[in-house]
Amino acid sequence: MGDISQIKKFNVRVYGILRSYDRKHVLLSDEYKFGLAFTKFPGGGLEFGEGILDALKREFQEELSIEVIDTSLFFVNEAFQASAFGRDEQLITVYYLVDSFKNELPSTTTHKFDFEEREDQQAFRWISINKLSEDEMTFPIDKLIVSKIKNL
Protein backbone atom coordinates (compact mmCIF):
# COMPACT_ATOMS: atom_id res chain seq x y z
CA MET A 1 0.00 0.00 0.00
CA GLY A 2 2.86 2.43 0.63
CA ASP A 3 3.69 4.75 3.50
CA ILE A 4 0.70 7.07 3.80
CA SER A 5 2.19 8.91 6.81
CA GLN A 6 4.42 10.89 4.39
CA ILE A 7 1.55 12.07 2.15
CA LYS A 8 0.90 15.81 2.29
CA LYS A 9 -0.82 16.59 -1.02
CA PHE A 10 -2.65 15.22 -4.04
CA ASN A 11 -1.22 15.14 -7.55
CA VAL A 12 -3.93 14.73 -10.19
CA ARG A 13 -2.62 13.27 -13.46
CA VAL A 14 -4.52 12.81 -16.71
CA TYR A 15 -3.40 10.59 -19.59
CA GLY A 16 -4.67 9.75 -23.04
CA ILE A 17 -4.60 6.37 -24.69
CA LEU A 18 -4.30 7.47 -28.29
CA ARG A 19 -5.33 4.66 -30.61
CA SER A 20 -4.43 4.43 -34.27
CA TYR A 21 -7.23 4.72 -36.81
CA ASP A 22 -7.38 0.94 -37.14
CA ARG A 23 -7.34 0.66 -33.30
CA LYS A 24 -4.52 -1.87 -33.44
CA HIS A 25 -1.81 0.41 -32.01
CA VAL A 26 -1.44 2.84 -29.09
CA LEU A 27 0.97 5.73 -28.72
CA LEU A 28 3.56 5.63 -25.93
CA SER A 29 5.76 8.39 -24.59
CA ASP A 30 9.39 7.65 -23.74
CA GLU A 31 10.78 10.39 -21.52
CA TYR A 32 13.88 11.38 -19.61
CA LYS A 33 13.18 13.67 -16.64
CA PHE A 34 14.44 14.04 -13.11
CA GLY A 35 17.44 11.89 -14.02
CA LEU A 36 15.22 8.92 -14.95
CA ALA A 37 14.17 7.28 -18.21
CA PHE A 38 10.54 6.10 -18.23
CA THR A 39 7.73 5.02 -20.55
CA LYS A 40 4.14 6.11 -20.02
CA PHE A 41 1.06 7.21 -21.92
CA PRO A 42 0.98 10.84 -23.13
CA GLY A 43 -0.37 13.30 -20.58
CA GLY A 44 0.54 15.07 -17.39
CA GLY A 45 -0.64 17.07 -14.42
CA LEU A 46 -3.83 18.98 -13.77
CA GLU A 47 -3.32 22.70 -13.15
CA PHE A 48 -5.34 24.71 -10.62
CA GLY A 49 -8.61 25.99 -12.08
CA GLU A 50 -8.53 23.47 -14.91
CA GLY A 51 -11.02 20.71 -15.67
CA ILE A 52 -9.69 17.18 -16.12
CA LEU A 53 -10.66 16.91 -19.80
CA ASP A 54 -9.27 20.41 -20.39
CA ALA A 55 -5.98 19.23 -18.86
CA LEU A 56 -5.86 16.27 -21.24
CA LYS A 57 -6.48 18.56 -24.22
CA ARG A 58 -3.78 20.99 -23.02
CA GLU A 59 -1.25 18.21 -22.45
CA PHE A 60 -1.86 16.76 -25.92
CA GLN A 61 -1.48 20.22 -27.43
CA GLU A 62 1.77 20.82 -25.51
CA GLU A 63 3.30 17.38 -26.03
CA LEU A 64 1.96 16.36 -29.44
CA SER A 65 0.72 19.63 -30.99
CA ILE A 66 -2.65 18.03 -31.72
CA GLU A 67 -6.19 19.05 -30.86
CA VAL A 68 -8.13 16.24 -29.16
CA ILE A 69 -11.68 15.87 -30.49
CA ASP A 70 -13.24 12.57 -29.41
CA THR A 71 -12.56 11.01 -26.00
CA SER A 72 -14.20 8.64 -23.57
CA LEU A 73 -13.37 8.15 -19.93
CA PHE A 74 -11.50 4.87 -19.58
CA PHE A 75 -10.17 4.54 -16.03
CA VAL A 76 -9.85 6.37 -12.72
CA ASN A 77 -7.41 4.95 -10.20
CA GLU A 78 -9.28 4.11 -7.01
CA ALA A 79 -6.39 2.61 -5.04
CA PHE A 80 -3.74 4.52 -3.12
CA GLN A 81 -0.64 5.26 -5.19
CA ALA A 82 2.27 7.39 -4.01
CA SER A 83 4.05 9.43 -6.66
CA ALA A 84 7.33 8.05 -7.97
CA PHE A 85 8.77 11.57 -8.01
CA GLY A 86 7.28 13.24 -4.93
CA ARG A 87 7.04 10.73 -2.10
CA ASP A 88 4.83 13.17 -0.18
CA GLU A 89 2.24 13.14 -3.01
CA GLN A 90 -0.71 10.84 -3.53
CA LEU A 91 -1.53 10.28 -7.19
CA ILE A 92 -5.02 10.45 -8.56
CA THR A 93 -4.89 9.31 -12.18
CA VAL A 94 -7.50 9.58 -14.91
CA TYR A 95 -7.18 7.90 -18.32
CA TYR A 96 -9.16 8.69 -21.45
CA LEU A 97 -9.39 6.82 -24.73
CA VAL A 98 -8.56 9.30 -27.49
CA ASP A 99 -10.05 8.26 -30.81
CA SER A 100 -9.82 11.35 -32.97
CA PHE A 101 -7.86 14.55 -33.24
CA LYS A 102 -6.98 17.40 -35.57
CA ASN A 103 -3.52 18.09 -37.02
CA GLU A 104 -0.79 15.61 -37.82
CA LEU A 105 1.12 13.79 -35.14
CA PRO A 106 4.72 14.77 -34.60
CA SER A 107 7.29 12.33 -35.88
CA THR A 108 7.47 9.04 -34.03
CA THR A 109 10.25 6.55 -33.53
CA THR A 110 10.30 2.78 -33.65
CA HIS A 111 12.86 2.28 -30.87
CA LYS A 112 12.43 2.74 -27.14
CA PHE A 113 14.35 5.76 -25.76
CA ASP A 114 15.53 6.82 -29.20
CA PHE A 115 17.24 9.97 -27.88
CA GLU A 116 20.19 11.11 -25.78
CA GLU A 117 19.49 10.71 -22.09
CA ARG A 118 19.49 14.32 -21.04
CA GLU A 119 16.91 16.30 -19.10
CA ASP A 120 13.47 16.94 -20.63
CA GLN A 121 13.80 14.62 -23.61
CA GLN A 122 10.68 12.98 -25.01
CA ALA A 123 9.91 10.75 -27.99
CA PHE A 124 6.71 9.06 -29.09
CA ARG A 125 6.25 5.65 -30.63
CA TRP A 126 3.41 3.45 -31.77
CA ILE A 127 3.21 -0.06 -30.42
CA SER A 128 0.90 -2.83 -31.53
CA ILE A 129 -1.64 -3.71 -28.85
CA ASN A 130 -0.74 -7.35 -29.51
CA LYS A 131 2.90 -6.62 -28.56
CA LEU A 132 2.10 -4.24 -25.69
CA SER A 133 3.03 -5.71 -22.31
CA GLU A 134 3.19 -4.53 -18.73
CA ASP A 135 6.99 -4.76 -18.97
CA GLU A 136 6.90 -1.97 -21.56
CA MET A 137 5.64 0.52 -18.96
CA THR A 138 7.49 2.08 -16.03
CA PHE A 139 4.77 3.01 -13.55
CA PRO A 140 2.37 0.66 -11.69
CA ILE A 141 -0.88 2.27 -12.86
CA ASP A 142 0.25 2.25 -16.51
CA LYS A 143 0.98 -1.46 -16.14
CA LEU A 144 -2.61 -1.95 -14.96
CA ILE A 145 -3.89 0.10 -17.90
CA VAL A 146 -2.05 -2.22 -20.33
CA SER A 147 -4.06 -5.20 -19.09
CA LYS A 148 -7.28 -3.21 -19.44
CA ILE A 149 -6.38 -2.15 -23.00
CA LYS A 150 -5.78 -5.75 -23.97
CA ASN A 151 -9.29 -6.58 -22.76
CA LEU A 152 -11.01 -3.92 -24.90
Query: Could you give the number of structural domains in the chain?
Result: 1
- pLDDT attached to residue 73: 97
Range of the domain at 143: 4-150
pLDDT band at residue 91 using 50, 70 and 90 as cut-offs: very high
Specify the CATH number for the domain of residue 101.
3.90.79.10
Measured on CA atoms in the order 77, 80, 81, 82, is the torsion positive or negative? Answer: positive
pLDDT at 3 over 70: no
Predicted TM-score (pTM) of this structure: 0.89
pLDDT tens digits along 39-86? 999 999 999 999 999 999 999 999 999 999 999 999 999 999 988 887
Tell me how far apart the alpha carbons of residues 66 and 69 are, in angstroms, rounded to a whole number. Answer: 9
Condensed to tens digits (0 to 9), the pLDDT of residues 8-17 reads: 999 999 999 9
